[in-house]
Every structure is written in structure tokens, then in C-alpha cells.
Amino acid sequence: MDPYGLRRVVAPVGVLPQRADVLDPALPLGEDEVAIEVEALNVDAASFRQLEGAVGRDPARIAAEVERIVRARGKLHNPVTGSGGMLIGRVAEVGPRHPAAAVLHPGDRVATLVSLTLTPLALRRVSAVRPEIDRVECAGRAILFATGPWARLPEDIPERVALAALDVCGAPALVARQAEPGQRVLVIGAGKSGVLVCAMAKERLAGRGEVVVADCSAAALARVAELGVCDRTLALDATDAVGALAGAQQGGGSLFDLVVNCASVPGTEMAAILCARDGGTVVFFSMATSFTAAALGAEGVGKDVRLVIGGGYVPGHADLTLDLLRRHPKVRASFEERYAR
């Protein structure tokens, strides 16, 4: 048993696969591993842009560079950006002691929800590069460790819509644990994860309390309002903590029990903290969050708030998020409009 894939680490010896320079994708399948016949790599946007910058926008050259990296490292771990992406494919083989051995079968179509930076991968060929969606279509074999989250691709939701939702599925899943009926919830950021978080929070409040979504884009707020997943919108710039607090308290409103930060820009920690009531909770999902800004910020204003790191994994998060899309046809339609093309 090798739940973290340590035996596949070639160099440096003894680190976790994510920190490794080189993995060995060719070892025989472990009894707690799953082999996936890869169809496509959804490359992290930052990585894709770097590849384009390095070798140019010619698909053939990008394909060659992807093949070169995977050959050298045994994984698509961009050595410059440090980022990866995710993959989709069909299950080829299931080790008898993998936790999902009873439910995963050869031929099942799945997406891995674990970064390509730690996924052993061997490519036979790249068949197409699609820069407009950061995708590399290919044939190859990848390994999923026992601890690696994955999701079955649904048959009733277009693949690209499902991938867009799965990409942020940890956020609504964690909010489902945090939100409770009667709470006032503020969601900062009206993008993809913000919309799903709103929808989940609104369900959890069960008609008691309030879900408010804040963003600096009036257009984004108008779109969310149309989806019926929030009670109110608030136009504010979350990088302006003082202005955000004034906006949140506008009309004598009290502060929020739960603030969920889904902003995509840096510098929004203090706005989130100031908008939470004493005794409340702030959950940070933005990868632009600064640990010290959050920790020192709350101390500096003497605010007693629980500060939670939104770590993308919650058991069942993929199904929970796809079901959320199914229950909210307007949200699903907006995802289809935006991502299914």
C-alpha cells in the first residue's frame, strides 16, 4: 500500500510526488492505484500561457514541449510556473485495494481532481492542442493514487460544464458545512465559485437569513441576481477594506455571520475580516490570499473571527457540486452559456 505514491518518486528521494522533480509512471500498477487511459489534459491557464510564451503559439511546438516535459518529469508539472492542471480519461485498470475498487470499473469516464503536478503520466502521442480552452488532447496513461480525489464524468451534463464546476467544487462543499439557517452570509466575488457558493448557501439557509453577493463588477452582480441564488447584491471593491465595510453596513445593516472570500485578486483579506461579525467565520478560497495579511489583519483590528483556509477537498464534493447544478437550472444554463461552447 502506497497511498501517497511515494514509491513512484525518482528524484529527489523521499519527497512527496508534488515536490518531486521526476516520477516513474512506468512501474507496474500498485494494488491501491488506478490506471487511467488519458484523453485530454486540461492544462492550468498560467502553465499554458507560459508554454505559449516559451515556444510560440504553434500547436505542434506546444505539443512537442508538453511531450518533452512529460518525458523528462513523468508528469505534466510545468517547471517554470510550478502548476499543472487536471486530466480526463477512462479507467483502464483498478487495483484491488484502491478505496474505490468496488465502484470504479474499466471504461468509466473520470476526471482527476488532483493536480497534474503530482500525477504520474506517460504520453504515447499528443493528437491536438486547443489553446482557446487550454486543452491538450492526447493518448497516454496516468496513475491515480489511493488518496487522489477523482470524479465520475456525468452523462447528463456537458463535459466542459462539468469540468468548470468540478474545478471549484471544494468551495460549495465546504460552505455546505459552514452555513446554517438564520445566518447572514456574504460572498465576495461573483465569479464561478462565488455563484456556486451562493447557490449552496441559499439552500442551507432554508429561507431564513440572507445571502449577499459582493463584487466590483455591476455586470457580474446583475448576472448573479438573475440566477436567483442570492437575496441581495452589493457593489463594492474588496481591495478597499474601509469602503467595503461602509458598503456592508449601509442602511444600518449588521455584519455577517459568515463571509466567503471567492475574490480572484489579492488584497481582499481585510474587507472579508471587517465584514464579519465578532464571533463569525471567514472562509478564504482565493489562491491570492496572503496568510499573514489574514492572520495579522484580524489581530490588528481586535476581531474575534474564525479564519478558515478553503482547502479544495471535502468528501463527496464533486457529486455535491454537480447535483447543485442539476437543482439550479438557471445556474446550469449560465455555465452552459459560458463554458459549453
Query: CB–CB of 271/242 below 8 Å?
Result: no
CB neighbourhood size of 204 (10 A): 20
Of 36, 50, 248, 284, the residue at the interface with a second copy (CB under 8 A) is 284
Rounded CA gap, 47 and 211, in Å?
A: 35
Would you say 62 or 216 has its CB closer to a second copy?
216
Of 40, 298, 322, 324, the residue at the interface with a second copy (CB under 8 A) is 298
Of 180, 240, 319, 336, the residue at the interface with a second copy (CB under 8 A) is 240
Q: How far is the CB of 207 from a second copy (least distance, A)?
A: 28
Q: Which triple of cell numbers denotes residue 95?
A: 487495483
Of 86, 88, 118, 142, the residue at the interface with a second copy (CB under 8 A) is 118
Q: Is 326 in the site for a second copy (CB under 8 A)?
A: no
Rounded CA gap, 126 and 62, in Å?
A: 10
In the chain, the DSSP E strands lie at 9-11, 22-23, 34-43, 85-94, 109-112, 121-130, 135-144, 150-152, 184-188, 210-215, 232-235, 256-261, 276-284, 306-309
Residues 6+ apart with CB under 8 A from 276: 186, 255, 256, 257, 258, 259, 282, 303, 305
Q: Is 256 in the site for a second copy (CB under 8 A)?
A: no
Would you say 226 or 304 has its CB closer to a second copy?
304
Of 31, 299, 323, 337, the residue at the interface with a second copy (CB under 8 A) is 299
Would you say 31 or 304 has its CB closer to a second copy?
304
Three-class secondary structure of residue 288 per DSSP: coil
Q: Is 247 in the site for a second copy (CB under 8 A)?
A: no
- Each residue 170-209 as x (binds a second copy by CB under 8 A) or -, in order, gives x---------------------------------------
Rounded CA gap, 111 and 48, in Å?
A: 19
Q: How far is the CB of 203 from a second copy (least distance, A)?
A: 21
Q: Is 120 in the site for a second copy (CB under 8 A)?
A: no
Q: How far is the CB of 333 from a second copy (least distance, A)?
A: 28
Q: Is 308 in the site for a second copy (CB under 8 A)?
A: yes
Stretch that binds a second copy, among 21-29, 47-55, 88-96, 291-299 (CB under 8 A): 291-299
Rounded CA gap, 322 and 331, in Å?
A: 11
Q: How far is CA 253 from CA 17, 210, 221, 275, 316, in A?
A: 48, 12, 19, 11, 35
Of 23, 104, 114, 157, the residue at the interface with a second copy (CB under 8 A) is 114
Q: How far is CA 228 from CA 197, 218, 233, in A?
A: 13, 16, 11
Q: How far is the CB of 139 from a second copy (least distance, A)?
A: 25
Q: How far is the CB of 10 from a second copy (least distance, A)?
A: 14
Q: Is 311 in the site for a second copy (CB under 8 A)?
A: yes
Q: Give, to the nearest 10 degrees, the angle between helix 329-339 and helix 218-227.
A: 140
The site for a second copy (CB under 8 A) is made up of 3-4, 6, 14-16, 18, 113-115, 117-118, 147-149, 170, 240-243, 270, 274, 284, 287, 289-292, 294-315
